[in-house]
Structure 1
Amino acid sequence: MPVHPEIKKILDSIPQSDSKPKIIPEEHRKMFDAPVLPVEKRVQVYSVEEKTIPTSEAEIPVRIYTPKEADSFPLLMYFHGGAFFSGNLESHDEVVRPICMESGYKVISVDYRLAPEHPFPAALEDCYNVTKWATEHKDELKWDGKTLAVAGDSSGGNLVAAVSIMARDKKEYSITKQVLYYPSLDLDFSEFRYPSLVKNGKGYFVESNQLAEYNSFYLLGNVDTNHPLVSPIREENLNNLPAALVITAEYDPMRDEGELFAEKLKKCGVHVETKRYEGATHGFLGKFTHLVEYKDVYKRTADFLSSK
């Protein structure tokens, strides 16, 4: 289907140019980190708590969302998007709130360290270590001790997949489910291997010819983009990973790598649910989930998280 008319209005308002300005992380953060809705218009949550988690690498701020009063909760860790160099607790607050309330999970949103100040593997270490901290503070969090999910969008989806692989291999804790929203799973842009990088490469917010520069901040120091913790789609052994929900968008340059990852997981015996949102672009959570065509993404997430 065509791009959703409400999304097209925004796309048409963006000045088009063949030359792209150099990406300056500090400037990009100012633009990206601004939430769409004021707090009073966001989904209301029973309680929201700010906390700082000590890890072996750094002190990591988190925001803990509790959906209701209860004796125990399933737990979900949320890793925000932003190409590893932008995004924070506030930028994704309006995404995390409906996930919490629809699913009934207690959600911990992780404000991991950002590139280029902290390149790979800082973000991954932070997400892994804060998840480990959560499992070690069961009583404090009222965690049920059984259900531990991880979720994230875009680069956060990359971190979800990588943390799931690490947790399987290190065996320090067990993740039960993973949710990947339009994930960025292949950081090697030396060639465009996925048709969606070409078909959706220009004019849909995220442009393929800028992806290498976006990710260059995370990949400082000659990082091997074939490493499966950098590009999880390169992991050959996907056995025994958590059940996955993979959400993609029709007009996203990264659509095909997300859908290919889902197929690879299925071939390794992992339970996978997928949904491509037609007419949508990369980053539609929060920005366009008020539209009737996309508002069910949170219920879909909740249904997946509650399924056996």
Structure 2
Amino acid sequence: MPVVLDPDAAAVYKAFQEAGRPAYETLTAPEARAYYSQSRFATNPEPPELARVTQLAIPAPHGVIPARLYVPKEPRRHDGLSPALVFFHGGGWVIGDLDSHDVVCRQLAVEGALIVISVDYRLAPEHKFPAAVEDAIAATKWVAATAHELGIDAARLSIGGDSAGGNLTAVVALAARDGNGPALAGQVLIYPATDFAMTHGSHTEPETSVLLTHSVIRWFRDHYLNGAADIHDWRASPARAASLIGLPPAYVLTAGADPLRDEGNEYAERLKHAGVPVTTKHYPGQFHGFFTMGKLLREANVAVREIGAWLKALG
């Protein structure tokens, strides 16, 4: 599929190249985290003001899962309770944290007029698969169980995330369906990783190897998975789930210059065929990771607004 970068995206890509941006696969995991953390200052837009931001400590078998709760100035309320979005950040299960996605969570809270809870799940390689999955499931269950105390309407609880966070979103939705819940109102899959086999065409197209390159995906995979057998586990590759029937309504966003493009589009089609209500949005001129770059990319802010509108439409 021919890919032509949007002028804004092309300018950002050129700037990254000229700045001598180090390839993540040449760094250690701690070095990559530090670099990713610093890069947000150049790419994140100004954070919108909120009514309240609160640190949370979610209990888990291994101790606690750090999280951050965002309450906008004008949340939608019914009987004093608001809808909510549990958000899982991207970063290949290796990098990223509450701060890397702080601004976009604030934006989603404002645009969706809802409460957002960002989850700081354990990262690889210190905590390999399925640690991140276990944390994402535990955090979602805890938010649902503690909803009333948090000012949340448990009947209007959605989940979402970008990239690795989109992967975790898909997995949590499957686990909730097949386990003991919680019931979910929706799932937001932002250029999600859905199949670690990495055999879709967009994984080999030169035009998709922009900021998220094919080699760095393999670097993330090798840090996260324990071995080849994990590829076939639906908790790592949700596209490997036997059925997608009965999952909550989905919003699936994909980008043209993204190695994960084809698996995201295919997952959306499978959801549709399974009878799941699906809204798709494709940004043909954008690269993987653009969603958090609203300071530099106008379409990033468009994407946030459209997802916010979709979340509002859920109720």
Partner of 1:127: 136
From 211, 224, 236, the equivalent of 1:205 is: 211
Query: 1:27 corresponds to which residue?
Result: 31
2:171 equivalent to 1:162: yes
Shift >3 Å, 4+ stretches: 19-23, 37-40, 200-203, 288-294
SS at match of 2:182: coil
For the structure 1 residues 147 and 5, does the alpha-carbon distance in structure 2 shift closer, same or farther, using more than 3 Å as the test? same
Q: Structure 2 length normalisation: TM-score?
A: 0.90
Q: Does the Cα contact within 8 Å between 1:74 and 1:105 map onto a contact in 2?
A: yes
Instruction: Tell me what 1:279 maps to.
Output: 285
1-side partners of 2:250 and 2:88: how far apart? 15
Equivalent residue for 1:238, pick from 239, 244, 247: 244
1:94 CA displacement: 1.2
| Partners of 2:299 and 2:112 in 1: CA distance | 20
Q: Distance in 1 between matches of 2:296 and 2:113?
A: 20
| Partners of 1:66 and 1:115 in 2: CA distance | 30
For 2:132 and 2:272, the matched residues in 1 are separated by: 27
Gaps of 5+ in 1: none
Shifted more, 258-267 versus 47-56: the winner is 47-56
* Pairwise CA distance, 1:46: 1.4
CA distance in 2, matches of 1:39, 1:277: 19
Distance 1:137 1:156, change over 3 A: same
Structure 2 residues not aligned, in runs of 5+: none
Kindly provide the amino acid, as one letter, of the partner of residue 33 in structure 1.
Answer: S
1:140 shift after superposition = 1.3
Answer yes or no: is 1:63 the counterpart of 2:43.
no
Q: Is the 8 Å Cα contact of residues 25 and 216 (structure 2) preserved in structure 1?
A: no
CA contact (8 A) 2:175 2:181 kept: no
Alpha-carbon deviations, 1:211-236, whole Å to 9, x = none?
12211111025542011111011112
Q: Contact 1:201–1:207 (CA<8 Å) still a contact in 2? A: no
- AA at the equivalent of 2:32: H
- 1:129 Cα deviation after fit: 0.4
Match for residue 196 of structure 2 among 178, 181, 187 = 187
Q: Is the 8 A contact 2:212 2:288 kept in 1?
A: yes
- The structure-2 alpha-carbon separation of the partners of 1:203 and 1:211, relative to structure 1 and needing over 3 Å to count, comes to closer
Structure-1 residue corresponding to 2:110: 101
Q: Which moved more, 1:150-159 or 1:69-78?
A: 69-78
The one-letter amino acid of 2:37's match is: D
> How much has 1:2 moved relative to structure 2?
2.3
Structure 1 distance, partners of 2:209, 2:271, is: 31
Structure 1 residues 28, 276: CA separation in 2 closer, same or farther (over 3 Å shift)? same
Question: Partner of 1:296 in structure 2?
Answer: 302
Map Cα deviations across residues 55-92 of structure 1 (whole Å, 9 max, x no partner).
12331110000113652111110000000011000000
| Equivalence for 1:215 | 221
Q: Deviations over 1:226-253 (max 9, x none)?
A: 1111101111210000110000111111
Q: Once the two structures are aligned, what percentage of the paired residues are identical? A: 36
- Report the secondary structure of 1:217's partner residue: helix
How big is each residue's C-alpha offset from its partner over 1:100-125, in whole Å with a ceiling of 9 and x where there is no partner?
10101111000001011111111111
Q: Within 1, Cα distance between the matches of 2:302 and 2:9? A: 17
Secondary structure at 1:230 match in 2: coil
Report the secondary structure of 2:4's partner residue: coil
Point out which structure has higher relative CO (alpha carbons under 8 A, 6+ apart): 2
Number of matched residues? 304
**What is the distance in 2 between the residues matched to 1:211 and 1:49?**
33
C-alpha distance in 1, partners of 2:98/2:190?
17
- Structure-2 residue corresponding to 1:249: 255
Partner of 2:157: 148
Q: Matches of 2:145 and 2:235 in 1, distance apart?
A: 24
In structure 2, C-alpha distance between the alignment counterparts of 1:212 and 1:293, rounded to whole Å: 28
Cα distance, 1:24 vs structure 2: 1.2
Question: Cα 1:213–1:261, aligned 2, differ >3 Å: closer, same or farther?
Answer: same
Instruction: Give the alignment's Cα RMSD to 1 decimal.
Output: 2.3
Provide the rounded CA distance (Å) in 1 between the counterparts of 2:127 and 2:313: 37
